[in-house]
Amino acid sequence: MRRRGFLAGVAAALVHGPRTWAAAGSPAFLAAARHPDGSFWLHGLGEDGRDIFSIALPARGHAAAAHPERPEAVAFARRPGTFAAILDCATGQQTAALTAPSGRHFYGHGAFSRDGEILLTTENQIETGEGRVGLWSVAEGYRRIGELPSGGIGPHDIVRLPDDGFAVANGGIRTHPNTGREKLNLDTMRPNLAILASDGSLLDVAELGEDLHQNSIRHLAVDDAGRIAFAMQWQGDLYDVPPLLGVARPGAKPELLAAEEIIQRQTQGYAGSVSFSGDGSTIGITAPRGNLAVAFDVSTGRPSQIVKKSDICGIAPTKLGMCATTGTGQFLRLEANQSHLIRNDDLSWDNHLVSVQK
C-alpha cells in the first residue's frame, strides 16, 4: 500500500513526550459552556459528568477536537471563523493557534490522525465554495502543511475511521463570509458523505436520493466496526418530515432511519449531534429545536428511547450507553432506555460533547 508521508507517522517517536491525557485528569469528554456571567469555557468532564478541568475560551466556540494522546484540545471558533486555539488541558494554557489561510475559513470541526501527527480541519475555499480539508503538523506547532478536497461543498464534521481513514460530512450548503451564515444554494445543494483513505485520497462519495437533496449531512459518529452514523438538517419544507439519521459503511449504500411520523415531526427537521452507544447497539440523535433526543436500535432501525429535554444537543458514548448535555445546563445519562439527570448547573452546554479517545 502506497502512503504519503504525512500520515505515516515516521516522526511519532520523537514528538510523543510522556505527557498524556492522564496529566489533565483523564477526562472522558470535552464540552464548551457559556457561564452565567457570559464567559465561555472548555470543560473536561468525567464519564460521570464531574468537572475535571475548565479552561477559559476567548469567545463562543463550536466543536472541540481532542488529540489522541497528548492532553491537547483544539477549540474552533463558530463558523465562519478563521481561528482555533490549541489548549494544553493539563496547564490550562493556550500553546498554539490556528489561523485559516487567506481565502479559507473553518467550518467548526476537526479530527486527528491516529498517530496524532496531523490535525485535519474542515474548511471553505471562499472563492469557489469548494470544501477543503486543511492539514496541520502537530509536531511543528500546528503548522499548516497542506490541504485536500473534501469531496463536496460545506464540509462540517470530520471523524477518523477505525481503518485510519476519515469520513467527512459535506453539508452541501454554500456560504460566504460576506453574508455570514446565509445559505446561497438551497435549490441546487447536494450534500454527501465522503470517505477519505488514510493517505487522504478520496475513496467514496455517497449521496442521498434526489428527493433528499436538501437534507444537509452535518454531523458524524463512528463505531469500532466502522459504521458511520450521520445526522442531517433538512432545508426543505419542514412538514415533509424527512429522516434525519443515516448509517453507512464505506462502499455500501447508506441506510436511513426514521421514527414514526409524530416523533419525526417533533424533531423540527433538525438534528444537532449524533452518537453511537458504547456497546454499539443504539444510535442517538439530538433535536434541540424539538427539545428531544431519539435513540434508534441499530438492529431493528426503530426508535428505542425518546428523551424530552429543553435544548438538548451534545451527545456522546459511555461504556454502557450514551450521555447528553443541554443548553439549560443539564448533563444526562441515557442508559438501558432510561434517562438520568446527573448534573443540573447554571450554565449552557454548547452544541457538542466530544469524546476523548482512550
Partner 1 sequence: MRHLIAALAFAGALGAAKADEQTIAAVVDDHIIPAFAELDAAADDLATEARKDCAPTSEPLRVAYQSAYDAWLGAAHLQIGPLEEAEFAFALSFWPDPRGKTAKALRRLIAAKDPIAGSGDYSKVSVAARGFLALERMLYDDTITGDAGYKCTLLRAISDDIAATADKLHQGWLDTHAASFKSAGAPGNEVFPATEDAIRKFYTALMTSLGFDAEARIGRPLGTVQKPRPRRAEARRSGRPLRNLRLSIAAQRAFAAALTPAGQDDTAPQVDAAFRRVLDQIAEVDNPLLDGTASSTAWLKIDIIKQDIVAIQVTVDGTLGRDLGLFVGFNSRDGD
Residue 282 or 348: the one with the smaller Cβ distance to partner 1 is 348
Q: 13, 18, 239, 299: which one contacts partner 1 (CB under 8 A)?
A: 239
Residue count, binding to partner 1 (CB under 8 A): 34
The interface mask with partner 1, positions 200-229, x = CB under 8 A, is ------------------x-----------
* Strand, coil or helix: 208: coil
Task: Kindly tell me the burial class for residue 249, based on how many C-beta atoms sit within 10 Å of its own C-beta (0-12, 13-18, 19 or more).
Answer: middle
Task: Kindly tell me the burial class for residue 295, based on how many C-beta atoms sit within 10 Å of its own C-beta (0-12, 13-18, 19 or more).
Answer: buried
In whole angstroms, how close is the CB of 336 to partner 1 at the nearest point?
A: 17
d(CA 197, CA 248): 16
DSSP assignment of 13-62? HHH--S--GGGGT--SEEEEEE-TTS-EEEEEE-TT--EEEEEEESS-EE
- The answer to whether 271 and 298 have CB atoms below 8 angstroms apart is no
The interface mask with partner 1, positions 51-80, x = CB under 8 A, is -----------x---------------xx-
Q: 120, 200, 327, 356: which one contacts partner 1 (CB under 8 A)?
A: 327
- The answer to whether 293 and 304 have CB atoms below 8 angstroms apart is no
**187 near partner 1, judged by CB under 8 A:** no
**272 near partner 1, judged by CB under 8 A:** yes
Pairing of strands 143-153, 130-137: antiparallel
Q: 97, 237, 319, 338: which one contacts partner 1 (CB under 8 A)?
A: 237
The interface mask with partner 1, positions 85-124, x = CB under 8 A, is -----------------------x----------------
Residue 241 or 256: the one with the smaller Cβ distance to partner 1 is 241
18 CB contacts (<8 Å, ≥6 apart)? none
In whole angstroms, how close is the CB of 348 to partner 1 at the nearest point?
A: 4
Q: Strand 303-308's sheet: what is its strand order?
A: 273-276, 282-287, 292-297, 303-308
Residue 87 or 315: the one with the smaller Cβ distance to partner 1 is 315
**311 near partner 1, judged by CB under 8 A:** yes
Residue 203 or 342: the one with the smaller Cβ distance to partner 1 is 342
**48 near partner 1, judged by CB under 8 A:** no
What's the number of CA atoms in the CB half-sphere (13 Å) around residue 150? 34
Residue 108 or 152: the one with the smaller Cβ distance to partner 1 is 108
The interface mask with partner 1, positions 244-263, x = CB under 8 A, is -----------------xx-
Residue 144 or 265: the one with the smaller Cβ distance to partner 1 is 265
**358 near partner 1, judged by CB under 8 A:** no
d(CA 218, CA 205): 15
d(CA 239, CA 242): 8
Task: Kindly tell me the burial class for residue 112, based on how many C-beta atoms sit within 10 Å of its own C-beta (0-12, 13-18, 19 or more).
Answer: buried
Residue 117 or 157: the one with the smaller Cβ distance to partner 1 is 157
Residue 277 or 330: the one with the smaller Cβ distance to partner 1 is 330
Q: 214, 267, 305, 351: which one contacts partner 1 (CB under 8 A)?
A: 351
**172 near partner 1, judged by CB under 8 A:** no
Segment 336-339 long-range contacts (CB within 8 Å, at least 24 positions apart): 337/295, 337/304, 337/305, 339/305, 339/307, 339/309
- The angle subtended at Cα 221 by Cα 215 and Cα 223, nearest 5°, is 135
**43 near partner 1, judged by CB under 8 A:** no
Q: What residues line the site for partner 1 (CB under 8 A)?
A: 34, 62, 78-79, 108, 156, 181, 218, 237-240, 261-262, 265, 270, 272, 288-289, 291, 308, 310-313, 326-328, 341, 344, 348-351
